[in-house]
Amino acid sequence: MTDNGVPRVIAVQSGENGGPRRYGEWFAADGLHVDVVHAYDGEPIPVILEHDAVLVLGGGYLPDADDRAPWLAPTRALVRQALAEDVPVLGICLGGQLLAAVGGGEVKGDVGAPEAGSTPITLRPEAADDPLFRDLPSVVPALEHHVDAITVLPPDAVWLAQSERCPYQAFRLGENAWGVQFHPEASADRIPQWNADKLTAQGFDPDEVHRQAVADDPISTPIWREVAGRFATIVRANAR
């Protein structure tokens, strides 16, 4: 649904601090308009998808936690519409897990070892010809903040990236839908908003987590900026 020729992205936000952040800024710079639905605050999810792309952001829920987060059911329906109509999708953290679940994969809560802070993401050989991940460095730092994880990818997914603690860090469904476990939209300034007591209980030093993220920001930022631009190009090319 272009507006005066500007493609529009609907972004589903599941937490007060979980907005599109720099991806919203970068998408705007690349000619997209982002409509953020503050679902956690009661804003309704559209029943009919009329936007040119879907961005599903993170949050502290499993993708089927409808009792705690009733907006997840209509969000899953929106993603199903996007997949059926080949509308571009980007799912981040919870959003990536939700995309995996909609596509027939499995997600489990509190599985494996938690990840927090700047984490090396290793690209797999399958990323070599992927529209978003091609020609990136073989290992890229990105922010992580999760205990839940994808345990089985959808049957038709292309597995793109992994980390030491969590194998399914990035995947593609079809031609235009991507899910990532990490947070390319976030930079080190997000970390002070995290619960320091929880980080400590998980075995992390909050000060070290922040320090490492600050150190890695100059490396990771231009890479995730490039990925944002590539996604924007796909959205513009497929605008309805």
- State the first-to-last Cα distance of the chain, in angstroms, to the nearest integer: 6
Residue 121: beta bridge partners? 140
Q: Which residues contact 229 (CB under 8 A, 6 or more apart)?
A: 26, 30
Catalytic annotation on 93?
A: yes
Residues contacting 30, CB < 8 A, separation 6+:
228, 229, 232, 233, 236
Spatial CA neighbour of 145 closest among 69, 224, 206: 206
Of 28, 26, 23, the C-alpha closest to 6 is 28
Active-site annotation holds for 166: no
Side-chain-facing half-sphere of 107: CA atoms under 13 Å: 25
Per the listing, tokens 């519409």 go with: 81
Catalytic residue among 51, 145, 146, 183: 183
Nearest to 38 by CA among 61, 15, 8, 68: 15
Q: Are 31 and 6 in contact (CB under 8 A)?
A: yes
Q: Which of 115, 146, 185, 210 is catalytic?
A: 185
Residue 177 backbone phi and psi in degrees, to 5: -125, 130
Catalytic hit among 93, 115, 144, 210:
93
Active site residue 183: yes
Residues serving a catalytic function are 93, 183, 185
